[in-house]
Amino acid sequence: MRIPAEQWARLLSIPVFLAIWQLVAGLELVNPLLFPPPTVVVKAFFDYMLHGDGVTDAGWSIARVVIGYSAGAVVGVVIGVLTGGSAILSGLLTPVFQLLRPIPPIAFVPIVIVWFGLTELGKWFLVFWGVFFTVWLATHMGVQRVTETLVRAAQSLGATRWQLLWTVQLPDALPVIFVGLRTSLSIAFYTLVAAELAGAYAGIAYRLEVTQQNMQIGHMMAGLLMLGFISTVSDRLFQSASRRLLHWST
């Protein structure tokens, strides 16, 4: 049985990446303290997970992402459907959202402290902020760009506005909405860096900050590796779930 070339490429992707990294780090073209080889990072990773705070940190970070992401996704879809379906609401809200959308969550840290103090709510809000706009925009555009023929067909069959939205516009927009939901899943992990910057006692991004202060770059990169790993696993799970839910579009 022959393994296709693309499968070979996939199998070799990460080992080749690690080999190049090890080689470049081994050449010491840059200071190995600042750019440690993967062997050092993997050792730091196991140290972090087995003897350090890796499990606790991962628990806190995942909880923050799950809560912030869920809230941002639900609110983003609801508002996106409303602005996508109503020209008045779109006119009212879109300029404000477009103005706020580019503001990075990290710039919001001092304002979030003033609003929420150093509570978990503030950390969830920062993740929410990162997720909401992407989901809202995808939903808004998905609903607005629904296939015209389907809308006309439904209208000619006497569909009410609610029926039109629920049975035509939303199912047709779902593939676009899911692209937004998937993209924002990665964004949720980016925003952890901002969310765990102020007043956190645990969390992967919090530990990144501490290890960077201590110039323990190997441990810092182990934290990044863990963030990347959790983010990849969640992306895969999301992809698999979306294939089942959107069976008609795949």
Query: Whole-number minimum distance, CB 195 to other proteins, in Å?
Result: 13
Query: Whole-number minimum distance, CB 109 to other proteins, in Å?
Result: 6
> Measuring CA to CA, how many Å separate 250 from each of 22, 138, 175?
39, 18, 9
Query: Whole-number minimum distance, CB 131 to other proteins, in Å?
Result: 22
- Among positions 150-209, residues that touch other proteins (CB under 8 A) are 197-201, 206, 209
Does residue 213 interact with other proteins by CB under 8 A?
yes
**Listed ranges 105-113, 137-145, 146-154, 238-246: which one lies at the site for other proteins (CB under 8 A):** 105-113
Give the CA radius of gyration of the chain.
22
**Listed ranges 77-85, 179-187, 214-222, 225-233: which one lies at the site for other proteins (CB under 8 A):** 214-222
Each residue 111-130 as x (binds other proteins by CB under 8 A) or -, in order, gives: x-xx--xxx-----------
DSSP 8-state symbol, 53: S
Applying CB under 8 A, the residues found at the interface with other proteins are: 30-31, 33-34, 47, 109-111, 113-114, 117-119, 197-201, 206, 209-210, 212-216
